[in-house]
């Protein structure tokens, strides 16, 4: 992993995501190494020759820049992080996210977190004082599958344990992994766990095999699985059937949800 400390010119950017005004990304690149990572498109905006997942740029002046920028921006909602994970392993040492929270805690901007790491628990002293909600991403609740798809993110059990400690919380269930977490049985198991955690809502999304995501994911899956994924990728029926399956299962659960397609 190539690690580089960089100086950014801006850290709070206007967001194109529905319901989110600003995005804050303290890192470019991510050490969680998810094999389906959608943020792979970011590589072309860097000067890195390394492959996606093999470098992280640390915006070491992000807290200072944020303290200047936030004074100029109108109050609005902030998503941490929209592109890469603000609680990826390097955050333990660098604490850039924590230092940014120290700045944000002086303002009343609503902040939404989304992570795959229980490192976020370290910052609950600040997060609990903020107008905030914390989301954990799950693509599966099977630890063996998690190890294949998200090798360096927190284990499933640690994410669930972390949720126990958070009051205002939600779950992002996605991307649902074709063949690995998309069967009725697997989805039902996941929803049962989610309901136990008393989350405010669950956002559900399918896998989008964008060209650069597909190119990368193929390298990690065995030949037979790649052939099956290829069929799913080309199938117009798959998303329709998956949505129907999920909608039917949801009738047995009480949490609020949104299906993203
Ligand atoms: S945690 Fe998110 S940004 Fe990091 S590798 Fe995984 S999918 Fe990509």
Which tens digits make up the pLDDT trace of 214-230? 999 999 999 999 999 99
- Number of domains the chain is built from: 1
CA 116 to ligand 1: nearest atom: 1
Instruction: Work out the pLDDT band at 29, boundaries 50, 70, 90.
Output: very high
CB 134 within 8 A of CB 168: yes
Q: Mean of the per-residue pLDDT values for the chain?
A: 96
Report which of residues 45 and 183 the model is more confident about.
183
Q: 251 CA distance to ligand 1 centroid (A)?
A: 31
Per-position DSSP letters for 4-56, written without gaps between them: EEE--S--EEE--STT-SEEE-SEES-TT--TT-GGGGGGGGS---SPTTSEE
Q: 83 CA distance to ligand 1 centroid (A)?
A: 8
Q: For residues 91-110, give the mean pLDDT.
A: 97
What CATH number does the domain containing 92 carry? 3.80.30.30
Instruction: Work out the pLDDT band at 41, boundaries 50, 70, 90.
Output: confident
Residue 156, pLDDT above cutoff 90: yes
Task: Give the whole-angstrom CA distance, residue 32 versus residue 21.
Answer: 26
Q: 175 CA distance to ligand 1 centroid (A)?
A: 11
- Domain of residue 107, residue span: 2-259
Pocket of ligand 1 (CB under 6 A): 30, 32-34, 37, 39, 84-85, 116, 150, 153
Residue 45, pLDDT above cutoff 90: no
Residue 201, pLDDT above cutoff 90: yes
Task: Give the whole-angstrom CA distance, residue 29 versus residue 33.
Answer: 9
């Amino acid at each position: 992993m190539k690690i580089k400390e960089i100086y950014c010119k801006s850290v709070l950017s206007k967001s194109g995501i529905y319901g989110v005004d600003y995005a804050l990304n303290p890192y470019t690149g991510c050490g969680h190494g998810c094999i389906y990572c959608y943020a792979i498109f970011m590589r072309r905006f860097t000067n890195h020759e390394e492959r996606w997942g093999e470098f992280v740029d640390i915006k070491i002046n992000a807290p200072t820049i944020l303290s200047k920028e936030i004074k100029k921006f109108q109050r609005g909602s902030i998503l941490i992080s929209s592109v890469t994970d603000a609680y990826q392993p390097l955050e333990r040492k660098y604490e850039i996210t924590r230092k940014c929270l120290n700045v944000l805690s002086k303002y009343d901007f609503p902040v939404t977190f989304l992570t795959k790491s229980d490192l976020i628990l370290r910052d609950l002293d600040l997060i609990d004082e903020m107008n905030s909600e914390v989301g954990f991403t799950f693509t599966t609740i099977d630890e063996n599958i998690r190890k294949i798809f998200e090798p360096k993110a927190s284990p499933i059990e640690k994410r669930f344990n972390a949720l126990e400690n958070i009051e205002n919380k939600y779950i992002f269930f996605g991307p649902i992994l074709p063949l690995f977490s998309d069967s009725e049985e697997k989805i039902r198991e996941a929803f049962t766990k989610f309901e136990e955690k008393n989350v405010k809502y669950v956002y559900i999304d399918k896998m989008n095999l964008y060209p650069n995501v597909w190119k990368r994911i193929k390298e990690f899956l065995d030949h037979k699985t790649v052939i099956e994924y290829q069929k799913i990728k080309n199938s117009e029926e798959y998303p329709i059937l998956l949505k129907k399956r999920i909608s039917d299962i949801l009738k047995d659960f009480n949490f609020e949800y949104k299906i993203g397609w």
